Structure 1
Amino acid sequence: MSNDTVESLFFKSLRSKQIAVGVVSLALFVTIMSLVLFEGTKKSVTLDVDGKELEIKTHAHTVGKLLSEQDFEVSQNDLVTPSVNTPIEQGLSIRWEQSKQVAIQVDQDIETIWTREDKVGDVLEEAGIEISAHDVVTPDLHEQFGDDNQITVEKAFQVALNDGGEKRDVWSTSTTVADFLKRENIQLNEDDRLNRKADGMLKPGSIVEVVRVEKVTDVVEEPASFAVETRNDPKLLKGREKVIQQGKKGKVSRKFEIVKENGKVVSRKLLEETTIQEPKKKIVAVGSKVAVASAAVPSKSSSRKAISRNNSEPAGGKEFYVTATAYTAHCNGCSGITRTGINLRANPNLKLIAVDPSVIPLGSKVWVEGYGYAVAGDTGGAIKGRKIDLHVPSKSEAYKFGRRQVKVKIID
């Protein structure tokens, strides 16, 4: 091959390469210019998504197209300002507030709402749920709800609490007695009692009563009563008593278990008794001798002055005035047998008076003004204090005697 031919081929190849480079350069230039023109025709907007701002350039014609172009899914509960149909203009500010689905549990009821609020208090207000100062809300009213999008409301109600006698009304959200006591920091001792089971349910108006039980041991020294022994004494008039030996109380130590409920003693149990000093018994002689008293009894026609003359006043003896009445052995309800065992129906003329033994001892010999000498041998339900009742043979004499003040002397 000649040199001319080789040179010709070289220049042809060079021109082909130059043409190819020129085509590529032109295509690149066109592409760059197209990109510049394309970007230059975009409009700049500001998009605020839940408080975060984004600067975006777009060819979208509407707000809705822009959000779709950015792969943002807008639900019907979201708020877009301006609306999704608003045309895009240079410098437009767009705000998109996303709504969230929140579950609100009020006690046992649950409702679900869509909201754009993020604070618990604002969500509850939007849902129309009123919260009192005693209700328990989780999370707190001033906090944002968590990732679980759940709010719990425990509604408070009043419970009547009686703790050891101290009564008060308490606002509570507890549903069981045990939880209520725990929240109120009420601790039970081993013997304390509740008016209801610990796992029992609470509701508005429930009453929780804590009975505080206290058991203590008390040791006291107390007098021990002495026994009284009676001995029959045939030499002593019936109805009379004579102390042969005075009694003396002993001393014992007693150990008690005392149970108190709410501070008041409800039981006292004797646990142990120890004698410190033995008591000395009292011995009393009781008379069994039947008194026989006789005296001249005036006739029915005799006057009281005659009776007095025949039974002159003795010189000695303890004297005082009493109110005197008269009775017979045949009065209504009378048996005829005196307290000292004398049969008045068998001895209708016997001079005998009924007395109060604390004033005139039974068996005493007495003198009664206007009646004479007699024995204190009977008692009566109405004969109390300085009163006596004179035995006479007939009802007519009893009516005749009536009621009067007389002088009495105790002779023996």
Structure 2
Amino acid sequence: MSTPQYETFEAYDPHGASGVPDAPGVHDAVTQGYGVAAYGGDTYRPAYELPAPAAPAGRGQGHATAPGGQHGPGDPEPPRRSGYLPDGEAPGPEARAGSGRRAARRRKPRYGRRSESAVRRLLPQALVVAFLAGGTTAFLAKDKAIELTVDGRPRVLHTFADDVTELLSDEGVRVGAHDVVAPADGAVLASGDEVAVRYGRPVRLTLDGRQREVWTTARTVDGALAQLGVRAEGAYLSATRSQGIGRTGLALDVRTERTVTILADGRTRTIRTNAATVREAVEEAGITLHGQDTTSVPQAGFPRDGQTVTVLRVTANREVREESVPFEVRRRPDPTVFRGTEVVERAGRPGLRRVTYYLRTVNGVRQRPRREQTEVVRKPRTQLVRVGTKPHPDSVKGADGLNWDGLAACESGGRPAAVDPSGTYGGLYQFDSHTWHSLGGKGRPQDAPAEEQTFRAKKLYTKRGSTPWPHCGARLHG
């Protein structure tokens, strides 16, 4: 403490007013209590600044005093300093009067000046101290201790961020659409909060034959399966469950355990399997496929839970057959032939081909043959036919009015295409080929229209009468 402070305190001492002039002054008592002593007249100095008393002659520096600071019996009396009295001894009247005068001189001229200047000097300092104290309090209130865990790596940091979004921005942590932040973006932060960021990882998952891409924040295969709700007990995994998943993701094939029923050779077998194909499931059931044996579903297909697969025992061979190839008939008009008459100009001939068939028997049942290969041995020949366009004559003089229908009924039963058992005679009137051609007929008589046959018969009648029909000629006049 500075000297003016002690002087200010002494100004309030009612020295001399108590009416007891012989009593020690309050100023003297107080300054001694704070370790201040009069040294060298009017000058007051703290006790710790006073020079140490000289050691008595003949005494070593290591000689100790008596307990409580008392001198021993043989020690010389220490020198007295101004303003101090031995214990139990009161100051004299002169000392008290001098002390009162000095106190009065210090109080009257210096109290007012020192108080006013001290206030002016201390007020700005007090304002600065108050401002710094308030700023420090606000600074400490904004600072927060936050535990930030990014992808499983925790760290404790101090931040002035108000919410999660600001914290992640300050720390340079970028999050995407598939990343998870807890608490969510925008959540208000308080000291002691925990913020976790879990990055999303793509997984190209093939689950029981169906492929899709999913996202997970798990860092291991086991965690991803649990997060995706995939039952992994007894399943086949293309990666170990403890394998880590990087930020770039991984491809994972999972085949869960399924129940499949196999029917083969009259027996039924039900197995639990995580086979990738139907063929693998059949082999796990202890069934061997031979030769062309197959299954009711594609062998490369994925066996579904609860599916029934039938094994088909197949035997097969090939057979070559010769088949006839029909010929084509081509017709052209002929004005020299009566209308309704067709004349075969060139007879057709069928062709020949060899066909290879695949014959298969499934579980003892023969299947419909399947044509595999065709080879033409001989090409067919087209048949050419002339079709008559010449109009028929209305009548033959001397033969009209006869009963030609009766003659036809007797000779052929009225059938234009009739042929006798020997094949010599044909038509309504049973012409032989020589007679038919002599009358101008073409081809065979049984192939000519009925009108032409009747016309040729009338011409024959005008030449020979009813002689050509010895048994039925009488019908002409009947």
Per the TM superposition, whether the score is higher than 0.5 is no
**Which is higher, the Rg of structure 1 or of structure 2?**
2
Q: Which has the higher strand share?
A: 1
Query: Please, what TM-score do these two structures have when normalized by structure 2?
Result: 0.31
User: Relative contact order (C-alpha < 8 Å, sep 6+): which is higher?
Assistant: 1
TM-score (norm 1): 0.35
Q: Give the helix-richer structure, 1 or 2.
A: 2
